[in-house]
Amino acid sequence: MNFRFQNLLGAPYRGGNVVISSNTVLLSPVGNRVAVTDLLKSETTTLPIQSSSNVTRIAVSADATFLLAVDDRNRCLFINLRRRALLHRITFKHRVTAAKFSPEGSLIAVAAGKLVQIWRSPAFRREYFPFELVRTFADFDAKVTSLDWSPDSKYLVAGSKDLTARILCLKKLNTGGVKKRPFLLLGHRDSVAGSFFGVNSKTNRVCKAYTVTRDCYLFSWGFTSDDDSGEGSEPPSPGTPERDVEENLEDSENDGVEKRKKISENGGVKKRKKTDIEDGDEGYLSRGKWELLRKDGFMQGSAKVTACDYHRGLDMVVVGFSNGVFGLYQMPDFVCIHLLSISREKITTAVFNELGNWLTFGCAKLGQLLVWEWRSESYILKQQGHYFDVNCVAYSPDSQLLATGADDNKVKVWTLSSGFCFVTFSEHTNAITALHFIPSNNVLLSASLDGTIRAWDLLRYRNFKTFTTPSPRQFVSLTADISGEVICAGTSDSFEVFVWSMKTGRLMDVLSGHEAPVHGLVFSPTNTVLASSSYDKTVRLWNVFDGKGAVETFPHTHDVLTVVYRPDGRQLACSTLDGQIHFWDPIDGLLMYTIEGSRDIAGGRLMTDRRSAANSTSGKFFTTLCYSADGSYILAGGSSRYICMYDVTDQVLLRRFQITHNLSLDGVLDIFNSKNMTEAGPLDLIDDDNSDIEEGVDKQTRGKLGLDLPGSMPNRGRPIIQTKSLRIAPTGRNFVAATTEGVLVYSVDESFIFDPTDLDINVTPEAVEEALRENQPSKALILSLRLNEDSFIKKCIFAVSPGDIPAVATSIPYKYIQRLVEALADLLENCPHLEFTLRWSQELCKAHGSSIQQNSRNLLPSLKSLQKAITRIHQDLADTCSSNEYMLRYLCSSGAKK
């Protein structure tokens, strides 16, 4: 019963910015969570930490230890990325539009509204208020849009919507008593979409800056120091940034010189050296002049720049436009290397990785996330989720695959262990309403509102059979019998159940009798009885093969929403509109017991509700049910933020999962905050989003199927949290829920193991030898597995005495099982200690049998090699034994004759 959140599928990206840390780890916001994708191992997981609303900005420190996530309501979470633990929280007063860690990691620059705030990073300190505000710059007139640090963490360049970019100095240079103002980089005609520092490759100092404006122009600014030129500077021309109190600057310089002389006269050698060092480094950008070197246009017609990034080492700029085109340019000569189109929707994020060879693009409207290597022009990652709600999910019989169908007419198949979608079927022309895996072979069935049932081959990835009716019907439920020969589907417009044969594809029967849409359809696991539920308050049992009509009818007092069989076939569970779950005995036709669940499932208050959540009747029923594999408990979900788990025998609520705390969705709160209620209604429903189709996306988006039509919904298409489908894996160790957030995966397995010995500096051959000498075989084996040296692994295996094999096998972490299985397979083939190795293999399978079974797809090569080794040894021994037996029989018979 200890299910915990494990992963979020179905939506890899919805908006906000994307960050790549450690060169290969991709972090992207998904709803109010952050998804972590390892681009080398091709795995994606989701952090279990939830924000209070949709995450809009994330930032990662340079050493990939800390993650900063800011959401719609300006709340910030400070997360330890390695341990996935939430360390600190803070709330900014204004909307955060950019956030960046300094290169040395001790400071965080946050653009909050018109302000640029410098906070000290709390790191691992335990303090009452860990964030410390170091400096605030309030020079801007409009929202700050971009930030960039200099390599020495002393300067910032910030672009704003007031058509300026400013060079901010962190230290307060108060020489001569005159306060200095930041440099103004003027000349932009639209808001600044990106601003970056460029460095001199020899001295690693800032010598130039780039600003990209929204109207497709790139400005190159050059910096010249005052040390060389001195006198005789020209008067400022148009385009030269203005600098206030120019006369006072000269006076302050003279004062600085005088001070320096005094210090040198007074101090000794140490003081003089210290002063020289400080004078040399301090504020080198403040003594000089910035000027516009060149201005280049991207020539994209009426498109706008929506995303851009700059790589300092390669001196390259990547720009994403609102028409789906991206360009890669080599600076300082503005040479176009690539100009390609991804789609026709705007690119909302474009990021370089640390080395600069991979480009990451995100398209929020399509939910698309691409990682592209620009030198070899190949895709590293190409993921796109459903961009409408997921309607149904189905597990494969071995629990390795998950199929999802959504309102975007697509069926996607995901690998649960890696979290990736590896195939997408898009032949359907309307929303998918039901999915079913045939238990015996690799066939997936899907039902749709377009009037077809399609069968998909998961080996050849194609649609090999289509089932239709004489006149088109909208199918809303789907099932197949245990052998996969008979397929049944229920409709919502003609209230009939259609029966097809899988082999011939012909329509065999039409079951009539229901008077309302048939939304629940299930075959008995043990016999040929079909159960169907309908909105006409009845559940009917049919014998499909006899063709006699309804066998039995179970009446109810309210509409029946769904029906499921227990896996042993002796119990039937159905949910009704009054929030109850009824349990029937299908053999005797008796009502066994009833669970009253309307209080458990009660949803929150919607944004447009005029009544409180306790008085509202919407969302107080279950729309989806699922039995566990052993039939001991049942999961129930509906139009609510909860998933309820009930014990079937005792009819008690075991646990209630709240699937999200995202305040950007409707129905998450029971009681509203009165500060958000105004005379015009709730503040969130006021259409004050000033973003048009050309601008970049500041917040996360999701597709709204038909919700924008006039008069359709009064809450401006704000998604309402609900669970549409629930499935428990056949192994019983995890379940999935198709919700508004996406497909949530809950599991009892520990998907993340924090290994305290996972420290590279300690893993040495000497450490392995020392552990062996100290008679610690378990530690030695783990260390050798991490070293991945074959000789050491085998040596440690033999160091374990036969009596200790079970204990050592149990203590090995899961991630090393594959390597150990490979070593054992090799030993079986080459080593004479046969019984010892077989004993090892047996104990390993006993200790980690469930993990091996769950992840057999990954372990398949190792397991096959182990099986091959055992089979070959078995054959060799069998030949030897047969030969011995025949020889003995011959010798005995020949002795008897003589």
Partner 1 sequence: MGEIQESKALAKSKPSTEQDVTDELDLRMKKYLRGEGANLEGLKDKKLKGQLAVKEDLYGKSAKAAAKAEKWLMPSEGGYLEAEGLEKTWRIKQEAIAREVDISSSGKQYDIILPELGPYTLDFTSSGRYMAVSGRKGHLGIVDMINLSLIREFQVRETVRDVAFLHNELFFVAAQKKYPYIYNREGTELHCLKEHGPVLRLQFLENHFLLASINKFGQLRYQDVTMGSMVGNFRTGLGRTNVMQVNPFNGVVSLGHSGGTVTMWKPTSASPLVKMLCHHGPVSALAFHSNGHLMATAGKDKKIKLWDLRKFEVLQTLPGHATTLDFSQKGLLACGNGSLIQVLRDVSGTQNYSKYMTHSMVKGYQIGKLVFRPYEDVLGIGHSMGWSSILIPGAGEPNFDSWVANPFETSKQRREKEIRSLLDKLPPETIMLDPSKIGTVKPRREKPTKQEREAEIEADVEAAKGKKLKKKTKGRNKPGKRVQKKQEAVARVKRPYLEQKIQEEESISRKKQKTREGVELPKSLQRFVRKKASS
Binding residues (CB under 8 A) for partner 1: these are 141, 162-164, 184, 186-190, 215, 234-239, 242, 244, 678-681, 683, 685-690, 692
Count of other CB atoms within 10 angstroms of residue 677:
11
If the CB atoms of residues 163 and 745 are measured against partner 1, the closer one turns out to be 163
Q: How far is the CB of 240 from partner 1 (least distance, A)?
A: 8
Q: Collapsing DSSP states into helix, strand and coil, what is residue 529?
A: strand
If the CB atoms of residues 162 and 450 are measured against partner 1, the closer one turns out to be 162
If the CB atoms of residues 132 and 141 are measured against partner 1, the closer one turns out to be 141
- d(CA 445, CA 457) in angstroms, rounded, equals 9
Q: How far is the CB of 593 from partner 1 (least distance, A)?
A: 49
Strands (E), 334-400: 335-341, 349-352, 358-363, 368-373, 378-384, 390-395
If the CB atoms of residues 337 and 709 are measured against partner 1, the closer one turns out to be 709
If the CB atoms of residues 591 and 686 are measured against partner 1, the closer one turns out to be 686
Bond before 332 cis per omega within 30 degrees: yes
Q: Collapsing DSSP states into helix, strand and coil, what is residue 67?
A: strand
Q: How far is the CB of 322 from partner 1 (least distance, A)?
A: 14
Count of other CB atoms within 10 angstroms of residue 692:
7
* HEC letters along 720-789: ECCEEEEEECCCCCEEEEEECCCEEEEECCCCCCCCCCCCHHHCCHHHHHHHHHCCCHHHHHHHHHHHCC
Q: How far is the CB of 94 from partner 1 (least distance, A)?
A: 12
Q: How far is the CB of 374 from partner 1 (least distance, A)?
A: 32
The whole-angstrom distance between residue 742's C-alpha and the CA centroid of its chain comes to: 10
If the CB atoms of residues 238 and 803 are measured against partner 1, the closer one turns out to be 238
Q: How far is the CB of 680 from partner 1 (least distance, A)?
A: 4
Q: How far is the CB of 96 from partner 1 (least distance, A)?
A: 18
- d(CA 850, CA 730) in angstroms, rounded, equals 13
Q: Which two tokens stand for residue 86?
A: 């939430």
- d(CA 85, CA 87) in angstroms, rounded, equals 6
Q: Collapsing DSSP states into helix, strand and coil, what is residue 121?
A: coil
597 close to 636: Cβ distance less than 8 angstroms = yes
Q: Which two tokens stand for residue 185?
A: 């980089």
Q: What is the DSSP string of 197-262?
A: EEE-TTT--EEEEEEEETTTEEEEEEEEEHHHH-S-PPPPPTTSPP-S-HHHHHHHHHHHHHHHHH
If the CB atoms of residues 138 and 896 are measured against partner 1, the closer one turns out to be 138
If the CB atoms of residues 242 and 250 are measured against partner 1, the closer one turns out to be 242
The whole-angstrom distance between residue 276's C-alpha and the CA centroid of its chain comes to: 51
If the CB atoms of residues 190 and 647 are measured against partner 1, the closer one turns out to be 190
Q: How far is the CB of 242 from partner 1 (least distance, A)?
A: 5
Q: Which two tokens stand for residue 387?
A: 């961009």
Q: How far is the CB of 185 from partner 1 (least distance, A)?
A: 10
If the CB atoms of residues 546 and 679 are measured against partner 1, the closer one turns out to be 679
If the CB atoms of residues 38 and 139 are measured against partner 1, the closer one turns out to be 139
- d(CA 263, CA 443) in angstroms, rounded, equals 85
494-503 contacts, C-beta under 8 A, 24 or more apart: 495/534, 495/536, 497/521, 497/530, 497/532, 497/542, 498/469, 498/473, 499/544, 500/453, 500/467, 502/438, 502/455, 502/465
Q: How far is the CB of 218 from partner 1 (least distance, A)?
A: 17
> HSE (CB half, 13 Å, CA atoms) of 419?
25
Q: How far is the CB of 678 from partner 1 (least distance, A)?
A: 4
- d(CA 863, CA 856) in angstroms, rounded, equals 8
Q: How far is the CB of 309 from partner 1 (least distance, A)?
A: 25
Residue count (the chain): 898
Residue environment code for 608-625, b if the CB has 16+ CB neighbours within 10 A, otherwise e: ebeeebeebeebbbbbbb
Q: Which two tokens stand for residue 312?
A: 């300092």
Q: Which residue has the tokens 């198709």?
A: 738
- d(CA 507, CA 502) in angstroms, rounded, equals 10
Q: How far is the CB of 672 from partner 1 (least distance, A)?
A: 14
Q: Where does residue 442 rank: exposed (0-12), middle (13-18), buried (19+ CB within 10 A)?
A: middle
Q: How far is the CB of 728 from partner 1 (least distance, A)?
A: 44
Single-letter residue type at 388: F
- d(CA 87, CA 123) in angstroms, rounded, equals 9
- d(CA 291, CA 831) in angstroms, rounded, equals 75
35 close to 77: Cβ distance less than 8 angstroms = no
- Closest to 657 (Cα-Cα) out of 741, 573, 596: 741
If the CB atoms of residues 229 and 658 are measured against partner 1, the closer one turns out to be 229
Q: How far is the CB of 164 from partner 1 (least distance, A)?
A: 6
Q: How far is the CB of 308 from partner 1 (least distance, A)?
A: 19
* Straight-line distance from the first to the last Cα atom of the chain, in angstroms, rounded to the nearest whole number: 75
If the CB atoms of residues 244 and 774 are measured against partner 1, the closer one turns out to be 244
If the CB atoms of residues 48 and 717 are measured against partner 1, the closer one turns out to be 717
If the CB atoms of residues 685 and 873 are measured against partner 1, the closer one turns out to be 685
If the CB atoms of residues 189 and 375 are measured against partner 1, the closer one turns out to be 189
43 close to 418: Cβ distance less than 8 angstroms = yes
- Closest to 498 (Cα-Cα) out of 541, 489, 485: 489
Q: Which two tokens stand for residue 266?
A: 């007074």
For residue 377, CA distances in Å to 38, 344, 371 come to 20, 20, 10
- d(CA 387, CA 345) in angstroms, rounded, equals 13
Q: Which two tokens stand for residue 113?
A: 């509204």
If the CB atoms of residues 214 and 311 are measured against partner 1, the closer one turns out to be 214
Q: How far is the CB of 183 from partner 1 (least distance, A)?
A: 12
Q: How far is the CB of 192 from partner 1 (least distance, A)?
A: 12
If the CB atoms of residues 681 and 813 are measured against partner 1, the closer one turns out to be 681
